[in-house]
Amino acid sequence: MGQPCHAEDLSSCAACPVRSAALCAGCSGADLTAWQDRRRMRSYGTGEAVARAGDRLEVVATVVSGSATLSRGLEDGRTQIVGLLLPANLLGRPGGQRLAHDVVATTPLTLCTIRPHDLAGLRASQPALDARFLEMTIADLEAARNWMTVLGRKTARERVASFLMMLAHREVVAGADPNRPVSFDLPLTREQAADYLGLTIETVSRQLTGLKRDGVIELPTKRGVKVLDLERLLIETGDDADGGLPT
């Protein structure tokens, strides 16, 4: 499953960039040391398969950096992207599972993995892990339901804006100032984004250009996005903005 990360590339669990949002968020001291003794870091290159549909996933993994898609092949040869894994997202379940989807890295990807029996030992000594796992599972379910609304009810412009807003929101949660332009790189190519959004690549490009023309975003590089006005982008998503920007 991927390549082991070189020791010099690894941070301690205490310095992990996603620890505050990961499964081990509540761990400290001896609990965190026990976690670090059991986890293994794995790296993947862009386009490399993490696992294929039908494989038994022998680990529970947290995305430390990079991104990956969950996709399913259709009978006519097309591929449908049904999910996106971003930093702090979980892959797998404590009891192991056979995957229903292909998991493929869309950028250089680093996973923090732990085997189910090691996780079982941590859960026995750290009961809070079960509550944290449930919390993250519920959050994933809610995100999936929200994305069904994006795909089922929104216009092309609203879909693209919603995708950008999701990524911008993650930057704000990570500490970016919502009152200043928020910059990030798209985790997907435009072709992959089109698949994820249920649009054509031409439509995605047209909508990005339109948002740029209207002063909502800038596109400094092929994948780079700078959101100039978060409130305007929120309006473009078509969502109810009465509560203000997400925090």
Q: Report residue 203 as tokens.
A: 């439509």
Distance in angstroms (rounded) separating the CA atoms of residues 70 and 52:
10
Mean pLDDT of 172-183: 91
Distance in angstroms (rounded) separating the CA atoms of residues 108 and 78:
24
Question: pLDDT tens digits, residue range 112-160?
Answer: 999 988 999 999 999 899 899 899 989 888 888 888 888 888 999 999 9
Taking 60 as the threshold, does the pLDDT of residue 239 lie above it?
yes
Residue for token digits 């509560």? Answer: 243
Which pTM does this prediction carry?
0.86
DSSP letter at 54? T
Question: pLDDT tens digits, residue range 62-111?
Answer: 999 999 999 987 777 777 888 999 999 999 877 767 888 999 999 999 99
Taking 50 as the threshold, does the pLDDT of residue 6 lie above it?
no
Instruction: Spell out a b/e string for 188-208, using b for 16 or more CB atoms within 10 Å of the CB, else e.
Output: bbbebbbbbbebeeebbbebb
pLDDT given for residue 10 in this prediction: 52
Q: For residues 125 and 99, is the Cβ–Cβ distance under 8 A?
A: no
pLDDT given for residue 96 in this prediction: 67
Residue for token digits 């049904």? Answer: 82
State the sign of the Cα–Cα–Cα–Cα dihedral 231, 236, 240, 246. Answer: negative
H helix runs in the chain, sequence order = 29-38, 116-125, 128-153, 156-173, 190-197, 201-213, 230-236
Q: For residues 122 and 175, is the Cβ–Cβ distance under 8 A?
A: no
pLDDT given for residue 4 in this prediction: 56
